[in-house]
Structure 1
Amino acid sequence: MTTESPRHTVEKIGGTSMSRTEELLNTVLIGDRKGADLYQRIFVVSAYAGMTDELLEHKKSGKPGVYALFASAESGWGWGDALSAVADKMFAHNERIFSDEGARQSANRFARERVEGVRSCLIDLQRLCSFGHFQLQQHLLTVREMLASLGEAHSAFNTALLLNLHGVRARMIDLTGWRDEGQYTLDEAIERALADVDLATELPIVTGYAQCSEALMGTYDRGYSEVTLSRLTVVTKAREAIIHKEFHLSSADPRLVSPDAVRVIGETNYDVADQLSNMGMEAIHPRAAKGLRRAGIPLRVKNAFEPEHPGTVIRSDLDAQSPQVEIVTGLKNVYAFEFYDQDMVGVKGYDAEILEALKRHKVWIIAKTSNANTITHYLKGSMKAIKRVETDLSNAFPTAEIALRKIALVSAIGRDLRSPKVLTQAIRALSDAGIEPLGVHDLLRKVDLQVIVEPDQFEATIAALHKGLIEDWAAAPQHKLHAAA
């Protein structure tokens, strides 16, 4: 890769933004840029919105896609029909974005070659695994990665082709391992792919999925594109990583709090980004952020469709000037999984057994509390998976009492919440709004304050905490904020 100095950026575009192709060309990809200003950038692209859901399974509803159907012994040829439906969806997308007949045919040929190549591979694997010596389960992670890569390859090829049609010297950088003869680490794959790229005169469009010896999906599942962004940024020594979303990183969801009261977070640190990830509001996958943090490279989160706005800068060395809450967010459908056993006092092993069951059934732990004989985990996952955890633990601990309750968890997050007035003001704001919390977690680390409420009070709790901890906090001198408290 040729570049004179670390002037370039590495920028990721999410799937929802990718689907707004024309707007994206007029903002992030080209906009008002001309000549040299078009370059010194590397783009990592996600699959178009909904494509990965069709290839794997729907992220929210769990509706099976090609992978889930292939992995199910009962599905028969259902996966083949689903793969054909994906191809049709790709062709339909190509029809929408390419007015040039030649370009559209080129895009269709590329998509067809990839889809039919995967189909042939899966047919051969299915036939091979009909023999007892070969077990399908051993190959499912590879199948999942191969299917996921189709979406990113499709969008990367199309994006590079579109840019070429607009006079930009763009090149698809395919990290999916398609027909590669060797196996490389992610860093090696990046270095090989960019070896002959001149960032001053070329615009690389990189697939969000990267096939490598680390098997990204095994660790990050569908967060792999952020890992690709992170390693590209570190390996190429970029000055900044940028994630383009369809919204700003703001102090609250403007659908829940008055848009006039919500403000864009101008700057914060990776500590806050980690807490946001725990609440499902992911600026970047925590493990992907780790590389950027260690390299001292800032991450900028921008609204793809407001290119003039600087967005939010996340840095590793950015401490708060004073204690304050920066964002209020949360999760509405959370399960409080309460495990009580009178025999627990002074006995070790309960916690490890519970954690092992949660891990085995792939249930996401958001928070946890415990006392002498009770351990409560706050969980996000399907009721089916959580019920399986309950069954396993009931069998392991027949004297235990297990209770499951649906709650909402709201978190006030900031770089520094050490002021005792933060908790006092939070309780006052909830009381003024007529909200009685089921519980409050105020940890010693002082980067988040978690409030547990009934699900039907979720929206009101976010609005109340935003008003009390952000709007009122900013409007009044701190020494006047409930000084009597």
Structure 2
Amino acid sequence: MMTIMEKNTNRVANNIHSVEKIGGTSMSSYNDVLNNIWLRKQVPFSQDAASYYQRIFVVSAYSGLTNALLEHKKTGEPGVYALFAEMDENRPWQGKLNEVMQMMLDINSDMFSEHELVRKRADQFIQGRMADVKDCLENLEVVCSFGHFHLDDHLHRVREMLSAMGEAHSAYNSVQLLRLHDVNARFIDLTNWRSDTQKSFDEHITYAFSDVDLATEMPIVTGYTQCREGLMSTYDRGYSEMTFSKIATVTGAREAVIHKEYHLSTADPMLVGANNVQPIGLTNYDVADQLANLGMEAIHPRAAAGLRKRNIILRVKNTFEPEHNGTEIRNDYSSKKPKVEIIAGARNVWGLEIFDQDMVGDSSYGQKMNDLVLESGVRVLTKDFNANTVTFYLKGNKRRINWLMDRLQQAYAGADIRVEKLALVSAIGSDMKVPGLLKSASSALSDANVNILSVHQAMRQVDMMFLVADQDYGTAVKALHSQLVEHCDTWVAEQTA
């Protein structure tokens, strides 16, 4: 398939551009983003002169805003969306919307404190958008007060509309900031605001970039894209990564870059200490898939798939260390010597166990079970089974887990079903065929007084999962990192080379 940029050869030749995504925490440090990324000239692929251009930037909302607009990603504290969905007659969503509006205006005031005219322009932009949101939600409340209309039928659209606000705010502001520094930035608004047409995901991206001149313009793009498919209903909070990936594939980028507030490191520096970790440097999309499965914010698995299929290199960089090349993720990499590349994991994992001796020899027994797990909307990290027991290890809120347990008990009345909160810790690498690795890992956990509740290792040997008590998560990560990375001869040799 010919890409947009191949068709528009008069504007961009040989697909020499990159597509880069900036995370929310980094966006909040906008002066660092400005100096370390936007105003840091790059030499485009196959070119000689450094330039601001040949780069497309997809921006996330400023830190905390999407949580306030929807719900807190970690604590579940309700935002505007969650409060609106409750249909409380006291209408608490209105107060939350005003609170978010003030958060946005405070950011504008801080960014443009020395440029009153620009600040007013930024305020007017977001105030207009938020006023539209308020009117829409109030009208929807009225419509849904009639029995013919049900709020649940419209909530996914409400969620999409609110999500769009954070990215529209940050993208618009970024363009104003760049223009103050004589960069020809261009605001590309994929939120489809007040439009009477609705395109598919591919069509929307194609149309938005059809007249962009990457040689002389720096596109700043909203991380949210409104389209017929509905990104939120499919990818929920991973929508900005899907936009990033789709732009890279549709425009035929040479490289995709994610700028984050930290390196993609051998473990979480907050857990094992900044001095004990190091950037991975180079790995492959297989490792990225394993990280995505654990909920690690390297890149959404579906976003990675698009890049992988088009053989686009993905690079994860630290916003605050612009000189560092970061970690390159590519198709054709495998570590020269087998080793563990990263210790990662997830807390608040639910181990849901179904024990029923009637399942022995019944090949169809688990079909309904799998259907209910899918219907519940929880995410399966892994599962195990033997002759009479199936255990799912799940990520999801307690409400969905309880729903699933009730449905399973109805479907399997004779089964003994229980749930336990656990943590999952995983050793991951592009090639972990190290003799005795399982023994070494198990010994490290045992020496740290961590009880292993379950262990999983596939024949391909790219990951090794340990289920432990939730309170043992930090201890387990530190023990495995110390044994498998810090004291690994291969890693030590690479560090001193």
**Deviation, structure 1 residue 402:** 1.2
Residue of structure 2 aligned with 1:278, choices 293, 297, 310: 293
Match of residue 18 from structure 1: 27
**Does structure 1 residue 152 correspond to structure 2 residue 167?**
yes
Residue of structure 2 aligned with 1:291, choices 301, 306, 317: 306
Match of residue 331 from structure 1: 346
Q: Is the 8 A contact 1:257 1:462 kept in 2?
A: yes
Change (3 A) 1:275 1:205: same
Match of residue 218 from structure 2: 203
The 5-angstrom pairing of residues 323-362 of structure 1 reads 323-362=338-377
- After superposing the two structures, state which structure 1 stretch, 145-154 or 32-41, moved more: 32-41
- After superposing the two structures, state which structure 1 stretch, 233-242 or 252-261, moved more: 252-261
Distance between the aligned counterparts of 1:214 and 1:342, measured in 2? 43
**Deviation, structure 1 residue 475:** 5.3
Match of residue 463 from structure 2: 448
Residue of structure 1 aligned with 2:81, choices 67, 75, 99: 67
Cα distance per residue 1:49-107 (max 9 Å; x no partner) = 11111111111121221112222223542222222222111111111111210000000
SS of the aligned residue for 2:192 comes to coil
Match of residue 37 from structure 2: 28
Change (3 A) 1:33 1:10: closer
SS of the aligned residue for 2:270 comes to coil
**Deviation, structure 1 residue 145:** 0.6
Distance between the aligned counterparts of 1:176 and 1:202, measured in 2? 20
Distance between the aligned counterparts of 1:14 and 1:443, measured in 2? 32
Match of residue 265 from structure 1: 280
Write the letter of the residue equivalent to 1:93.
Answer: I
Match of residue 51 from structure 1: 65
**Deviation, structure 1 residue 33:** 6.7
TM-score by length of 1: 0.94
Write the letter of the residue equivalent to 2:61.
Answer: A
SS of the aligned residue for 1:336 comes to strand
Write the letter of the residue equivalent to 1:71.
Answer: A
Q: Is the 8 A contact 1:277 1:285 kept in 2?
A: yes
Distance between the aligned counterparts of 1:282 and 1:50, measured in 2? 16
Match of residue 46 from structure 2: none
Change (3 A) 1:258 1:89: closer
Q: Is the 8 A contact 2:41 2:52 kept in 1?
A: no
Q: Is the 8 A contact 1:36 1:201 kept in 2?
A: no
The 5-angstrom pairing of residues 125-140 of structure 1 reads 125-140=140-155
Cα distance per residue 1:355-382 (max 9 Å; x no partner) = 3333333222211000011001112222
Change (3 A) 1:247 1:465: same
The 5-angstrom pairing of residues 11-410 of structure 1 reads 11-31=20-40, 37-99=51-113, 100-410=115-425
Unaligned runs of 5+ in 2: 1-7, 44-48
Change (3 A) 1:244 1:406: same
Distance between the aligned counterparts of 2:52 and 2:89, measured in 1? 48
Change (3 A) 1:374 1:294: same
Write the letter of the residue equivalent to 1:378.
Answer: Y
Distance between the aligned counterparts of 2:54 and 2:214, measured in 1? 5
The 5-angstrom pairing of residues 452-471 of structure 1 reads 452-471=467-486
Change (3 A) 1:204 1:39: same
Match of residue 15 from structure 2: 6
**Deviation, structure 1 residue 385:** 2.3
Write the letter of the residue equivalent to 2:354.
Answer: F
Write the letter of the residue equivalent to 2:429.
Answer: G
Cα distance per residue 1:416-469 (max 9 Å; x no partner) = 123332223222333443434222211112110011222332222212211222
Distance between the aligned counterparts of 1:238 and 1:456, measured in 2? 43
SS of the aligned residue for 1:403 comes to strand
Distance between the aligned counterparts of 1:87 and 1:254, measured in 2? 34
**Deviation, structure 1 residue 5:** 2.2
Change (3 A) 1:411 1:4: same
TM-score by length of 2: 0.92
Change (3 A) 1:326 1:132: same
Change (3 A) 1:138 1:4: same
